[in-house]
């Protein structure tokens, strides 16, 4: 990544990113899952800079790319997110999933609502796929019955989205559509999803 502060990412960085498949297999609890990018290479660096270095210049571009992949926004849907813990949000000064969710909400003309709170637990970063099967738990923060678009920054196994969907479903929120900035591919998918396999017409500028 070039690291430019304004208008990020630049055209060269965009060309180095691979878009995720048009529709990923949804994890349990979700009716669909959409992702903007493959979480690898330049795409991984872009999302990581937002998450760990507060590089907010890319939020708008990522939100545009996420909305472009969202096939339909259910009528009367609320946009929410899978929050990080209060402790991590305080340490970073922000919640990256909330930033993305609010930017998405502005673009689709739907309200953004904090429907969930996350209990303290181990960070997902650096954990194996098996360890990610227990991502910690969420609790309802406010009630909502009806469609929800559930936003997160990255989906690796879908375990976090499934854990977040549980209390939403329990309060009557349905259907739940997942929307993430990036999707971690299985190792066998890296070549198939890589930038060299993507035509210029599929790359966003």
User: What is the spatial distance between Cα 14 and Cα 71, in angstroms, rounded to a whole number?
Assistant: 22
Residue 49 has pLDDT above 60, yes or no: yes
* pLDDT tens figures, 121-174: 655 555 444 444 445 689 999 999 999 999 999 999 999 999 999 999 999 999
**Across 57-73, average pLDDT:** 94
Confidence class for position 54, pLDDT limits 50, 70, 90: confident
- The answer to whether domain 22-120+135-185 has CATH 3.40.50 is yes
State the distance between the two ends of the chain, measured CA to CA, in whole angstroms: 15
Contact by Cβ (8 Å): 47, 182:
yes
Question: pLDDT at position 38, please?
Answer: 95
Confidence class for position 7, pLDDT limits 50, 70, 90: low
User: What is the spatial distance between Cα 151 and Cα 34, in angstroms, rounded to a whole number?
Assistant: 10
Confidence class for position 71, pLDDT limits 50, 70, 90: confident
Task: Tell which wins on pLDDT, 5 or 163.
Answer: 163
Interior CA angle at 178 toward 172 and 183, to 5°? 155
Task: Tell which wins on pLDDT, 82 or 24.
Answer: 82
Domain residue spans in the chain? 22-120+135-185
In terms of Cα–Cα distance, which of 89, 93, 110 is closest to 101? 110
What is the distance, to the nearest Å, from the Cα of residue 41 to the centroid of all Cα atoms in its chain?
A: 17
Residue 198 has pLDDT above 50, yes or no: no
């Amino acid at each position: 990544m070039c690291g430019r502060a304004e208008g990020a990412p630049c055209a060269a960085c965009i060309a180095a990113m691979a878009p995720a498949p048009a529709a990923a297999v949804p994890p349990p609890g979700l009716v669909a899952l959409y992702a903007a990018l493959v979480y690898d290479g330049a795409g991984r660096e872009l999302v990581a800079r937002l998450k760990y270095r507060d590089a907010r210049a890319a939020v708008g571009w990522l939100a545009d790319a996420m909305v472009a992949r969202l096939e339909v926004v259910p009528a009367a849907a609320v946009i929410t997110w899978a929050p990080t813990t209060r402790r991590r949000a305080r340490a970073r000064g922000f919640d990256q999933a909330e930033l993305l969710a609010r930017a998405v909400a502005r673009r689709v003309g739907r309200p953004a609502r904090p429907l969930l709170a996350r209990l303290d637990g181990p960070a997902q970063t650096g954990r194996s796929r098996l360890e990610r099967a227990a991502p910690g738990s969420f609790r309802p923060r406010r009630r909502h019955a009806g469609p929800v678009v559930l936003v997160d920054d990255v989906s690796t196994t879908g375990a976090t989205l499934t854990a977040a969907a549980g209390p939403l479903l329990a309060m009557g929120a349905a259907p739940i559509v997942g929307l993430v900035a990036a999707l971690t591919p299985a190792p066998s998918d890296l070549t198939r999803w890589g930038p060299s396999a993507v035509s210029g017409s599929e790359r966003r500028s």
